[in-house]
Amino acid sequence: MARSKTPTAAITQSPSDIEEGMKDKRTPWSFRARFLLSTIIATLVIPTIAAVIFFQGELSSTKDLILNDSINLAENIAKQLYPTLAFEDLETAKDELEGLQNNPQINNSSIWKKVEGSPDGDFELFCSTREESVPQKFSFSKNGETWTDSDLIIVRSIQSSDDEQPIGKIVIERSLAHLEYKKSQFKRLGFTSWAFMIILILCVTIWYQNTLTRPLQELTNVAEKISTESNYSLRAKKISADEFGKLTDLFNEMLDSINDSNEKLLIANLDMEQRVQDRTKQLTLINEKLLSEIKERERANKELIETRDKLSKQEKLASVGQVSSNIAHELRNPMAAIRNSTYFLRLKNKGDDKSSHHLEIIDRELSRSDEVIQRLLQLTKGGTIKKELIDLRELAKEAMTYSNVTGDATLSIKFSPKYFPVNLDRILFRQVLYNLFINAIQAMPNGGEIRMDLRKLENGRILLCVSDQGVGIEEMVMKKIFEPLFTNKNEGVGLGLSLCRELVTRHGGSIMAKSSPNQGTTIEIELPGENSVAQKEERV
């Protein structure tokens, strides 16, 4: 019956099933391997062990038989040789040895006579079947048997039954060729048995493979494919008509039932997935619409806040500009009166050098103040800044002279890696440094050092840092220090740092502050380099 292959869904397994499956995968021996191993043990190893035991027992009994025969022979000959050796009958002794040589297992035999008066018990050769290969004198400690690879050497004493002292020794060398032949026969028989058993095992294994393990292997392969591919349309091939054939039929019928149930579950799952997708699309559209409305409201609120901040800032700047214009107008009248008074005092005190010098300082500072007021008014009316290459060291010293009235603070200037001029508006940037130095001096009531560091950045811009050793600024105040009309000083008006930010911005730069309570404050100003477009005059 042909079956169509349809996509199937994986069946959920319980944790116990998964754990059991992992245990099965960790099994090191398959049924086929265990069957083959047990067959080898039953038909090869056990008979081999039995054969080895039998072989060792047979060899041991053969060796015992050879040993007993040789000992009996040696002892009988030793008893017969006592009269011959006592009367030194050499001919009879040779006849006895030649009679031993008629035994094919005897390789050599010799008779030794004790040397009279020898303290060490030395013996000299009396006669031998091979005198050329036997030493003429030898020391025998006691009787015994010695096994070599090819011979058994037996030494026995020649003595009378009453005399305890032997008068000689007989040495018989029996060949072990029969034992070696028996060993080779056993080895040949063992190898032939091994070969026959291996052939027999192969035949039995192949037969069992066809009748026992092949149906099991077929069921195992199909089950593994279904487990990995989740394809329940696969079926096991029926190999035999015995119990394994019935098991295969039951296995296939079970797969038919599982496949039908799985197809129903798949249809239900697809329907559920489609419904979930439709509902998800609806929720996604609603969610996107809500997010779009939220973003639109956030954007509108942000624009409203920015517009309100801009209006507030413009109102403050407009107020500041109006107040500055009024202050500048009101300051010019008393400054003109001071300049006229200075002129008349200079005429009256022409001969007083000290008074003339201070009057010149007053007149110069009035001119500088009038120039600063004039430039600031030009900026509020849309004027331009006038940049030029200046020596920032001289400009900083000049601003320090105006701001350090009490003389409690000191100024240190450092250029990295070496000195370089800076393109700035001299008058306006001197006002920036003046305001920064004033704030630094006020933050150090007991005096201290003001450090001004300049270095060129990798992008070609210039970083100017002004640091003091003052009381520092709190974090909440740091966010507002550059806002117009904000101050935490009793006598301040909140225009110094806001003016610095405005002037630095007009130069094409940026300004920021870093501070911690009781650790001082650092003002960082980043300005364009010499070759920057910002070096040109900027139109406000």
DSSP readout, 155-219? Answer: EEEE--SS-SS-SEEEEEEEE-HHHHHHHHHHHHHHHHHHHHHHHHHHHHHHHHIIIIIHHHHHH
196 plus 241 within the same structural domain: no
Specify the pLDDT at position 111: 86
| C-alpha to C-alpha distance for 356 and 348, rounded to whole angstroms | 10
Q: Is residue 2 part of a domain?
A: no
* Residue 185 located in a structural domain: yes
Residue 93 shares a structural domain with residue 120? yes
Residue where a domain stops, chosen among 383, 411, 431: 383
- pLDDT for res 334: 72
* CA–CA–CA angle 262, 268, 269 (5° rounding): 85
The answer on 374 and 471 residing in a single domain is no
417: preceding bond cis by omega (within 30 degrees): yes
Could you give the dihedral angle defined by the CA atoms of residues 363, 367, 369 and 371, in that order, rounded to the nearest 10 degrees?
180
Please count the structural domains in the chain: 3
Domain that holds residue 419: 387-535
- Residue 309: what pLDDT? 72
Residues 288 and 329 in one domain: yes
142 plus 289 within the same structural domain = no
- Within-domain flag for 5: no
Distance CA 432, CA 440 (A): 12
Question: Concatenated DSSP letters for 416-434?
Answer: ESS---EEE-HHHHHHHHH
Whether residue 400 lies inside any domain: the answer is yes
Same domain for 145 and 286, yes or no, is no
| CATH number, domain containing residue 179 | 3.30.450.20
CATH of the domain at 445: 3.30.565.10
State residue 378's pLDDT score.
Answer: 57
How many CB atoms lie under 10 A from the CB of residue 419? 12
Select from 383, 412, 429 the last residue of a domain.
383
Residue 8 forms part of a structural domain = no
Query: ∠ CA 531-532-535 to the nearest 5 degrees?
Result: 95
Q: Verify that 218 and 72 share a domain, yes or no.
A: yes
Q: Do 315 and 350 sit in the same domain of this protein?
A: yes
Prediction pTM value: 0.39
Beta-strand ranges (E) seen in 328-459 are 388-390, 409-416, 422-424, 448-456
HEC profile of 80-149: HHHHHHHCCCHHHHHHHHHHHHCCCCEEEEEEEEECCCCCCCEEEEEEECCHHHCCCEEECCCCEEEECC
- What does each of the 540 residues of the chain score in pLDDT, given as a tens digit? 444 444 444 444 444 554 555 444 445 666 667 766 777 777 667 777 877 787 788 788 888 888 888 888 888 888 888 888 888 888 888 888 888 878 888 888 888 888 876 665 678 888 888 766 667 666 776 778 888 878 888 888 888 766 667 888 888 888 888 778 878 887 788 778 778 877 887 787 777 766 777 777 788 888 888 888 877 777 888 777 777 778 888 888 888 888 888 888 888 888 898 989 889 999 989 998 999 889 888 988 888 887 887 676 666 555 555 555 656 655 665 766 676 677 677 777 776 777 776 777 777 677 666 666 665 665 555 557 788 898 999 999 988 887 876 778 899 999 988 899 999 988 888 888 988 988 888 888 888 899 999 999 888 899 999 999 888 888 888 878 887 767 767 665 667 788 888 888 888 899 999 887 778 899 999 999 865 444 344 433
Question: Does 444 lie in the same domain as 410?
Answer: yes
Residue 11 located in a structural domain: no
- Domain boundary pick from 351, 383, 415: 383
Residue 134 within any structural domain of the chain: yes
> Do 162 and 269 sit in the same domain of this protein?
no
The per-residue pLDDT for 163 is 62
What pLDDT, on a 0 to 100 scale, did the predictor assign at position 452?
93
pLDDT at 451: 92
Let me know if residue 374 belongs to a domain: yes
Q: How far is CA 332 from CA 66, 272, 306, 324, in A?
A: 148, 87, 38, 12
